[in-house]
A = this chain, B = another copy of it.
């Protein structure tokens, strides 16, 4: 079986603690982990033991939510924190989210390529637009209209990729005897002038072992985002709840690449999954109830709405009655409802149904390693994903549990590599070399 038919895994690093509400409160977790890069290094090394291709840091550069009772939903700073990890790891990639709306393309190009070079070809840029008013306020600007945000995104990504290629691959002569450091004719300006951003260049950073960082994008597959993904991205980070939705989204993404003149296999569609690995489902549910019980309690009324039935508070710990199950139906307003109903039909109590993570951010698997492997294999073989970004319930032991209990099964089944395909992010994703703008992409975006 060739490398490109194996699935790719990344870890989603969302806040230092883990994907489960209350992870920061677990007794084996230091509540100061948010600022502790030693912990990030530990988690990265655990992932590297499991041949994970990348760490992915979502980002929301503003404070939101109930920070009194839950954590800050970010790393301190994605690029800085991942850079600190780079020298203590050898193969895992670093996909940091960076805004095309609120960052200067020259700074983005420079910082990501510096990380790419110093990590020997392991950097990726998750290029996203930013429309949240709280974030815009941190930059002292109004929220831009969607058309403007995406026009700026096209310009910013083109400038960044052009700057990456402006120090041509053979420009650095560094010949001491001949006294020639650079061939100046091969260090060339980009002179890109967009409607919103511009840069002259060149950028004074040579190629890394993978040429230049890998561009990702993420979000819901709107036509605007698909135009970005199809033209520039080698990875698409999805938020998707069902296999059908994922297949449809993946086809949209692949078609967008085709329309831009690219081979659709050059863009990897990466679905999300949250994991609680435990010897049995019951033990997994107990782990989740133990640490995030109060959040689950608060969601119990919402579960009835998802299933279209009334659940009396006295019966939160009893399986649904046959009458309830026969009248229950998945709410069309929440794509997670069908899964919630399926779990309820297995005979779990409402509290246990919620402990399955049925209204979490991604599909959640709770239980032994084989259950996780089944989920990944089913999606992968159904053409619903090229890979997954895995958010363990608690990083401190959840990464190791996944690596010890899930990865060997995937390897036995022949759908996951037993060794890293290479030392660069491109090699481990299975995406081709690129330096500068992709010459196949021509014309204006739609």
By a beta-carbon cutoff of 8 Å, the part of chain A in contact with chain B is 24-27, 31-32, 34-35, 37, 61-63, 67-72, 74, 76-77, 79-81, 83-84, 86-88, 102-104, 106-107, 110-111, 113-115, 117-118, 134, 137-141, 174-176, 179-184, 187, 193-194, 197-202, 204-206, 294
Contact = CB atoms under 8 A, between A and B. Distances in A.
Contacts of A86: 84
Given A76-B118, A118-B76, A67 B138 contact: no
Nearest to A134: B200
Given A76-B110, A140-B197, A117 B35 contact: yes
B88 A35 contact: no
Contacts of A137: 199-200
Nearest to A66: B184
A67 B61 CA distance: 38
Given A61-B106, A77-B114, A199 B140 contact: yes
A118 B68 contact: no
Contacts of A206: 34-35
Contacts of A35: 117-118, 205-206
Given A76-B118, A84-B118, A176-B31, A67 B139 contact: no
A173 to B, nearest CB: 8
Given A72-B204, A137-B199, A140-B197, A81 B118 contact: yes
A176 B72 contact: no
Given A117-B76, A179-B294, A187 B83 contact: no
A140 B26 CA distance: 49
Contacts of A61: 106, 110
B199 A24 contact: no
Q: Kindly name the residue among A104, A183, A194 whose own CB sees the greatest number of chain B CB atoms within 10 A.
A: A104
A182 B81 contact: no
Which of A103, A117, A141, A198 is packed against the most chain B CB atoms within 10 Å?
Answer: A117
A290 to B, nearest CB: 13
A111 B107 CA distance: 12
Contacts of A140: 193-194, 197-200
B80 A115 contact: yes
A117 to B, nearest CB: 5
14 contacts: A24-B174, A24-B181, A31-B181, A63-B187, A69-B179, A69-B181, A77-B205, A80-B114, A84-B87, A84-B118, A104-B104, A104-B139, A140-B193, A140-B200
A62 B115 CA distance: 18
Contacts of A201: 138
Contact of A87 (B88, B194, B202): B88
A87 to B, nearest CB: 6
B31 A174 contact: yes
A191 to B, nearest CB: 9
B199 A138 contact: yes
A52 to B, nearest CB: 21
A97 B80 CA distance: 16
Contacts of A80: 79-80, 83, 111, 114-115, 118
A80 B86 CA distance: 11
Nearest to A80: B114
A-B residue pairs, 3 tightest by C-beta: A140-B198, A77-B114, A31-B174
